[in-house]
Amino acid sequence: MTADIHQQAGLGCWAGRDAAECFLPDDEIRKLNRDLRILIASNGTLTRVLGMVANDEIVVQIVEQQVHGRPPRIPGSEHLPSGRVLQRQILLKGRSSGHAFVAAESLIAIDLLPSAITTSLTTTECPIGEIIEASCLETFKEPAKVWIGPPPGWLPLAGYQNSEPRIAARRYRVITGGQPAIIITEYFLRKVFQDAA
């Protein structure tokens, strides 16, 4: 039943599984290729680091976003507080190359954030990290949980055909005012980011 709820909420194939048993320990993360390790370890604005790694300006393509009356639960992860949640599915793409590098799913407790941030999230295609940084909102990112698993189920709806059955992904929470306000799951799509041979 939980898996069905998460699938309906659009959280992707991975969300309904027992993720806690599949997280990669640090020694396994060290086996991933260098660029992927840099992206996974990034604790700043992913779009900036990705732009440097990809040697391309990164733009956001919003696939879908909608506001829910209450937050969906994610197995193996603490949930967001009660209240309205903006669910956002995006692709981070190279402006010049057109390549999709990262697919991301965000759950954002919009009632915990200043209204200017909520307005920017719902009316622009700016990345979350850059919106938060521009607002000077004080936040803390928890360490990411990393795994290798299937890409999100919504990718074909975005026009992206992933040939890799298993890719690297990470999930982390963003805390503000002592409460979790955002849960972000990022899937690293490009073959160049996969395990080194």
In this prediction, residue 6 carries a pLDDT of: 35
Q: Residue 153's beta-bridge partner residues?
A: none
Q: Which stretch of 16-20, 107-111, 135-139 has the lowest confidence by average pLDDT?
A: 16-20
Q: Which stretch of 4-8, 34-38, 58-62, 165-169 has the lowest confidence by average pLDDT?
A: 4-8
Structural contact between residues 116 and 154, judged by C-beta atoms closer than 8 angstroms: no
Does pTM surpass 0.85?
A: no
In this prediction, residue 1 carries a pLDDT of: 30
Residue 34, number of CB atoms within 10 A of its CB = 10
In this prediction, residue 192 carries a pLDDT of: 64
- The pLDDT of 53-75, averaged and rounded, is 85
In this prediction, residue 21 carries a pLDDT of: 43
Domains for the chain: give ranges and CATH numbers. Answer: 2-193 (3.40.1410.10)
Residue 40 corresponds to which tokens in the numbers above? 């996974």
In this prediction, residue 75 carries a pLDDT of: 59
pLDDT tens string 148-166: 999 998 988 877 776 678 8
In this prediction, residue 94 carries a pLDDT of: 94
Residue 49 corresponds to which tokens in the numbers above? 């680091």
pLDDT tens string 95-136: 999 999 999 999 999 999 999 999 998 888 888 888 988 888
Distance of CA 91 to the CA centre of its chain: 9
Is pLDDT of 186 > 60?
yes
Residue 165: DSSP 8-state: S
